[in-house]
Chains A and B, each alone.
Chain A
Amino acid sequence: AQSVTQLDSQVPVFEEAPVELRCNYSSSVSVYLFWYVQYPNQGLQLLLKYLSGSTLVKGINGFEAEFNKSQTSFHLRKPSVHISDTAEYFCAVRTHSGGGADGLTFGKGTHLIIQP
């Protein structure tokens, strides 16, 4: 079974500063990796995903993430945050299972708080 650890439950950052949200996973097989964003009382919106190929993945709203297989990490970064980035961010993983349709396994989320 796979698991996802988001090391920080809250990350306060000043506006226009850079941010990194950390995500580590464990799995005995190859995985697909995702970052989702959730604004208050809304569903989840896909930010970016890693399926294969280049380990640096660019997503929407200026976010990017780097897949590091040796460190089993998929940290999310943005060089300059805005007030509108205040939200909950979830890292998720699913395995390359040949059959079966397991859902995503989610981390517990990181609340990004942008301070003016």
Chain B
Amino acid sequence: DGGITQSPKYLFRKEGQNVTLSCEQNLNHDAMYWYRQDPGQGLRLIYYSQIVNDFQKGDIAEGYSVSREKKESFPLTVTSAQKNPTAFYLCASSPGTQETQYFGPGTRLLVL
């Protein structure tokens, strides 16, 4: 089955710790995206990548980092600089940058 997988489903972060959220797709899509969802706020774009080895900041990139070493993978690292990381994180991909985006099941990040 083709699709987008995100792991883990729940993730706990301690103060000062960096954590990495996984996003993998087997749809052969070129573009991938990370969004953050807070209650009542809708989704906001963190980072996006049009092709391998390239990525761009979105609206709320501070405190986050990404890499795109393989077409199918776009991991997101939440660094200790992100002071309010508790949120639901959604990964998406699309065949090209102007095409429909498809979403993974999400990862909920909680701070201990």
Within A57-101, the residues touching B (CB, 8 Å) are: 90, 94, 96-97, 100-101
Contact of A41 among B44, B56, B101, B108 (CB under 8 A): B108
Among A4, A44, A96, A108: residue with most chain B CB under 10 A: A44
A102 to chain B, nearest CB (A): 8
Do A107 and B105 touch (CB < 8 A)? no
Among B43, B44, B48, B97: residue with most chain A CB under 10 A: B43
Contacts of B45 in A (CB 8 A): 102-104
B38 to chain A, nearest CB (A): 10
Interface of B is mostly: strand
Number of A-B residue pairs with CB-CB distance less than 8 Å in the complex they form = 57
Contact of B103 among A32, A45, A49 (CB under 8 A): A45
Docked CA distance A103–B40 (Å):
19
With both beta carbons as reference points, the residue of chain A lying nearest to B44 in the complex is identified as A106
With both beta carbons as reference points, the residue of chain B lying nearest to A95 in the complex is identified as B98
- Knowing A43-B90, A44-B90, the reply to whether A103 touches B103 (Cβ < 8 A) is no
Contacts of B90 in A (CB 8 A): 43-44
Total number of A residues with any Cβ neighbor in B under 8 Å: 25
Contacts of A104 in B (CB 8 A): 43, 45, 101
Contact of A109 among B42, B48, B100, B105 (CB under 8 A): B42
Do A108 and B48 touch (CB < 8 A)? no
Contact of A43 among B33, B44, B98, B106 (CB under 8 A): B106
Docked CA distance A44–B104 (Å):
7
**Does A25 make an interface contact (CB < 8 A)?**
no
B87-112 contact mask (Cβ, 8 Å, vs A): 1 or 0: 00010100001101111111010000
With both beta carbons as reference points, the residue of chain B lying nearest to A105 in the complex is identified as B45
Docked CA distance A109–B43 (Å):
9
Contact of B48 among A34, A90, A101 (CB under 8 A): A101
Interchain residue pairs with CB less than 8 A apart (9)? A43-B6, A43-B90, A49-B100, A100-B97, A101-B48, A101-B56, A101-B97, A103-B45, A109-B40
B→A interface (CB under 8 Å): 4, 6, 31, 33, 35, 40-45, 48, 50, 56, 58, 90, 92, 97-98, 100-106, 108
